[in-house]
């Protein structure tokens, strides 16, 4: 069974640009969550999508947005990039969130560098 | 106070010893608890999940949960150099937080041959 697939693996952008990251969850998984990982802040929750609806949102500015498609694939967009957005962006999927205790499984991440 | 706290380490243990990793959380309504292992330059990998008070064993790993003390731990028996990694504790308030996990800063474990 294929794991969580994130593309691209590496990305270099400049300040002010925008970027779209993609995540394909494990087959059958309907919940997709996004996290940002930096050395200083650690792993921080961005948002979660379930059945094409954003169900939870972390404390990030509106420049960070996402969506989920009917096949559960998800995309994350960051507009007007800032130097501080340089991070590893991780996608995690689970069978479902909410009342379920299903654990999340992470993809390999997208390493975003802002110049 | 951080929602999930871990000793940053590094924790250094000799090969074959028991490594003990600790985690405390602040929100009493937290219901699901997870341990992830992250090797340098890699993504987090799920090791254990625990939902009820007590111990849960899986091979060389044992997770312990005490909800009254808001404390969860991970024991690694017969530690191997390949266990050297950062261990992340994650907590979820399941009933209304969906897929939102709150992570600790992680404890770096070094197992010396």
Tell whether A39 is within 8 A of chain B (Cβ): no
pLDDT of A43-98, one tens digit each?
999 999 998 999 889 999 999 999 999 999 999 999 999 999 999 999 999 987 55
Q: What is the pLDDT of residue A99?
A: 56
Check CB contact under 8 Å for A97 and B101: no
DSSP code at position B27? -
Structure tokens at B63: 């997770």
Structure tokens at B53: 């008070």
Check CB contact under 8 Å for B43 and A98: no
Task: Give A 70-89 residues with CB within 8 A of chain B.
Answer: 88
Check CB contact under 8 Å for B103 and A58: no
**Long-range contact pairs involving A39-43 (C-beta distance under 8 Å, separation at least 24):** A42/B103, A42/B104, A42/B105, A42/B106, A43/A90, A43/B44, A43/B88, A43/B90, A43/B101, A43/B103
Q: How far is CA A22 from CA A11, A78, B60, B83, in A?
A: 12, 12, 35, 31
Burial of B89 (0-12, 13-18, 19+ CB in 10 A): buried
Tell whether B11 is within 8 A of chain A (Cβ): no
- Contact, B107 vs B9, CB < 8 A? yes
d(CA B15, CA B111): 6
Examine residue B6 and say whether the peptide bond preceding it is cis (omega within 30 degrees of 0): no
pLDDT classification of B27: cutoffs 50, 70, 90: confident
pLDDT at B31 exceeding the cut of 90: no
Task: Say which of A97, A103, A108 has its CB closest to residue B98.
Answer: A97
pLDDT classification of B98: cutoffs 50, 70, 90: low
Q: How far is CA B2 from the centre of its chain?
A: 16
């Amino acid at each position: 069974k294929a794991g969580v697939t994130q593309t691209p693996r590496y990305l270099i952008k400049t300040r002010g640009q925008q970027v779209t990251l993609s995540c394909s969850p494990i087959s059958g998984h309907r919940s997709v969550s996004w996290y940002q990982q930096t050395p200083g802040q650690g792993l921080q929750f961005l948002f979660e999508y379930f059945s094409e609806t954003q169900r939870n949102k972390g404390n990030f500015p509106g420049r960070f947005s996402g969506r989920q498609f009917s096949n559960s694939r998800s995309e994350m967009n960051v507009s007007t990039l800032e130097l501080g957005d340089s991070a590893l962006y991780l996608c995690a999927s689970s069978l479902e969130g909410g009342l379920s205790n299903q654990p999340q499984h992470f993809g390999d991440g997208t390493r975003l560098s802002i110049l | 106070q951080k929602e999930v706290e871990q000793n940053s380490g590094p924790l250094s243990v000799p090969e074959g010893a028991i490594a003990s990793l600790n985690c405390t959380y602040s929100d009493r309504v937290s219901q699901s608890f997870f341990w992830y292992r992250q090797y340098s330059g890699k993504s987090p990998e799920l090791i254990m999940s625990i939902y009820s008070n007590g111990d849960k064993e899986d091979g060389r790993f044992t997770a312990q949960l005490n909800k009254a003390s808001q404390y969860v731990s991970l024991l690694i028996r017969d530690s191997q150099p390949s266990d050297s990694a950062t261990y992340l504790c994650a907590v979820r308030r399941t009933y209304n937080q969906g897929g939102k996990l709150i992570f600790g800063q992680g404890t770096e474990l070094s197992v010396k041959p």
